């Protein structure tokens, strides 16, 4: 084969490598986000040349490409497709973007609440699939609440302090809905803050947002960092079921082994290893009503390699719960809570939100809320494309959820040609584009 050199030329055709932003813009037009933000008044910016809603939509256009740096907006300023897709008349400059965010957070405009409310309403309005878990004869939508550290080592940003992971950064708390993992609430926190700080208020908001999404029966799942009577009070007041992993604190493994011997069911896993499962009713703080505690105790006298132990090795896990199911089923339900780690990864890595762009804490908090909305927009695109009959990439690994990275690489970054003719604007995808049928049907459904 003869190797030929390419001749590099520039045409006068208008091309875009991010055609999928048209789907994002169509979804945003189903919300009242721009209208509500435009109505907010910033005392230091009473008559802005570029409206607040335009600034917000332009930044969401960046986030939905996996970019959070304000300076990245400069690449879109001369791009007509970007304006058409995001539904804005003008694209702000990077100084305008940064300064507007800084001015907004100086006043109590509650943009964070507006963003999460519109995100929840969009999930309901778009009629996205929400997969429940079956508990006995009841279907529950799970709300998984967790903290995930953001590594911002080497920076001097406000709020960057030592996290429990041993690096400097932030420690935001997040809530995800359903097995698809839609992000229904976020709150940026300094790295040193304990998981429980402000959590009761966060829980109340998260449950409210979940109900705005159309959820009825909710099951809240939390790790041991949230083992607090205050959380149980909130969950009971909101009439939702819950599983909270216990924090042993002053309770010893030997104490739980004695409880397991008395109240549990023993199962010999192998020689030298016995598992006990069961439940007891336990007093929680100063609450009058006792709560159910499910326990799982493992006692080893011989290791898997055959080594005998002088003293038994004990492993204990306990779970506060309002569910009346068997201990084995409840333990399985709580272990599935670990899936939220994948959602954290997609938000931090796929959307590049690990290192936030501003030196000011409140600005980064606002950025993180916009990031949660961008995550949901891409999740909706991914899930709706997954259910399209002609959609590519339907391997077993993708049967329940498309990863955000897959959406970015295969749907957002579709190339097309922008054509203006007879007062119409057309997008012409490639002749062999495998996503053509899916993209066209999704755009018509979102519009």
Q: Give the pLDDT confidence of 291-339 residue by residue, as tens digits.
A: 999 999 999 999 988 899 899 999 999 999 999 999 999 999 999 898 8
Reading the block at residue 49, the tokens are 């040349």
Q: What tokens does 1 get? A: 């084969």
* Residue 108, pLDDT score: 74
- Mean pLDDT of all residues in 427-436: 92
* 447/445 Cα distance (integer angstroms): 6
Does residue 326 or residue 400 have the better pLDDT? 326
- Whole-number pLDDT of residue 398: 43
Of 113, 109, 344, 330, nearest to 209 (Cα)? Answer: 113
pLDDT at 283: 84
Average pLDDT over residues 176-202: 96
- 264's tokens: 């549990």
Measured distance CA(377)–CA(385) in Å, rounded: 12
Judged against a pLDDT cut of 60, whether residue 183 lies above it is answered with: yes
Cβ pair 380, 123 in contact under 8 A: yes
Which contiguous run of DSSP H or E holds residue 31? none
Q: Which residue has the higher pLDDT, 374 or 286?
A: 374
Is 115 strand, coil or helix?
Answer: helix
Distance CA 40, CA 118 (A): 15
Average pLDDT over residues 244-259: 92
d(CA 251, CA 293): 13
Q: Which is it for strands 308-321 and 291-302: parallel, antiparallel or unpaired?
A: antiparallel
Radius of gyration of the chain, Cα coordinates, nearest whole angstrom: 25
Sole residue written with tokens 């995930």? 148
- The pLDDT, as a whole number, for residue 299 is 94
Angle at 167 between CA 70 and CA 104, to 5 degrees: 30
Average pLDDT over residues 345-356: 94
| The pLDDT value given to residue 397 | 46
pLDDT bucket at 60, cuts 50 / 70 / 90: very high
| pLDDT tens per residue, range 105-154 | 998 779 999 999 999 999 999 998 899 999 988 999 999 999 999 999 99
Average pLDDT over residues 92-106: 95
pLDDT for res 287:
78
Average pLDDT, the chain: 93
Smallest Cα–Cα separation from 120: which of 172, 64, 177? 177
Calpha distance 371→357 (Å, rounded): 12
Q: What is the pLDDT of residue 396?
A: 55
Please state the pTM of the whole predicted model: 0.94
Structure tokens at 176: 């995800």
Per-residue pLDDT at 9 exceeds 90: no
């Amino acid at each position: 084969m003869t190797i030929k050199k390419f001749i590099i030329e520039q045409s006068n055709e208008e091309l875009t490598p991010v055609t999928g932003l048209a789907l994002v813009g169509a979804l945003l037009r189903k919300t009242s986000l721009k209208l509500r933000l435009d109505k907010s008044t910033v005392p230091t910016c009473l008559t802005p040349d570029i409206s607040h809603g335009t600034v917000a939509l332009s930044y969401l256009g960046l986030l939905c490409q996996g970019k959070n740096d304000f300076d990245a907006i400069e690449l879109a300023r001369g791009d007509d497709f970007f304006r058409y897709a995001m539904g804005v008349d003008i694209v702000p400059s990077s100084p305008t973007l940064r300064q507007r965010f800084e001015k907004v957070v100086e006043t109590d405009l509650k943009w964070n609440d507006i963003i999460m409310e519109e995100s929840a309403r969009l999930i309901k309005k778009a009629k996205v699939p929400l997969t429940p878990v079956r508990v006995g004869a009841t279907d529950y939508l799970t709300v998984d609440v967790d903290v995930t550290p953001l590594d911002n080592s080497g920076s001097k940003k406000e709020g960057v302090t030592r996290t429990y992971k041993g690096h400097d950064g932030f420690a935001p708390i997040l809530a995800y809905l359903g097995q698809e993992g839609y992000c229904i609430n976020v709150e940026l926190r300094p790295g040193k803050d304990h998981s429980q700080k402000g959590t009761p208020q966060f829980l109340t908001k998260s449950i409210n947002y979940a109900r705005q999404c159309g959820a009825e029966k909710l099951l809240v799942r939390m790790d041991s960092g949230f083992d607090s009577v205050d959380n149980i009070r909130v969950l009971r007041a909101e009439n939702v079921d819950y599983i909270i992993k216990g924090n042993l604190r002053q309770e010893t493994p030997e104490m739980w082994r004695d409880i397991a011997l008395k109240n549990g069911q023993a199962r010999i896993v192998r020689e030298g290893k016995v598992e006990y499962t069961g439940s007891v009713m336990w007093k929680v703080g100063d609450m009058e009503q006792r709560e159910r505690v499910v326990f799982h105790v493992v006692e080893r006298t011989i290791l898997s390699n055959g080594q005998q132990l002088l003293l038994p090795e004990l492993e204990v896990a306990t779970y506060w719960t309002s569910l009346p199911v068997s201990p084995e089923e409840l333990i399985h339900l709580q272990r599935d809570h670990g899936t939220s780690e994948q959602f954290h990864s997609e938000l931090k890595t796929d959307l590049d939100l690990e290192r936030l762009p501003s030196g000011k804490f409140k600005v980064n908090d606002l950025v993180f809320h916009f990031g949660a909305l961008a995550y949901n927009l891409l999740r909706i695109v991914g899930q709706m494309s997954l259910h399209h009959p002609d959609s590519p990439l339907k391997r077993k690994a993708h049967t329940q959820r498309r990863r955000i990275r897959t959406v970015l690489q295969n749907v957002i970054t579709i190339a097309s040609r922008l054509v203006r003719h007879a007062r119409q604007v057309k997008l012409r995808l490639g002749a062999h584009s495998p996503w053509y049928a899916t993209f066209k049907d999704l755009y018509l459904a979102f519009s």
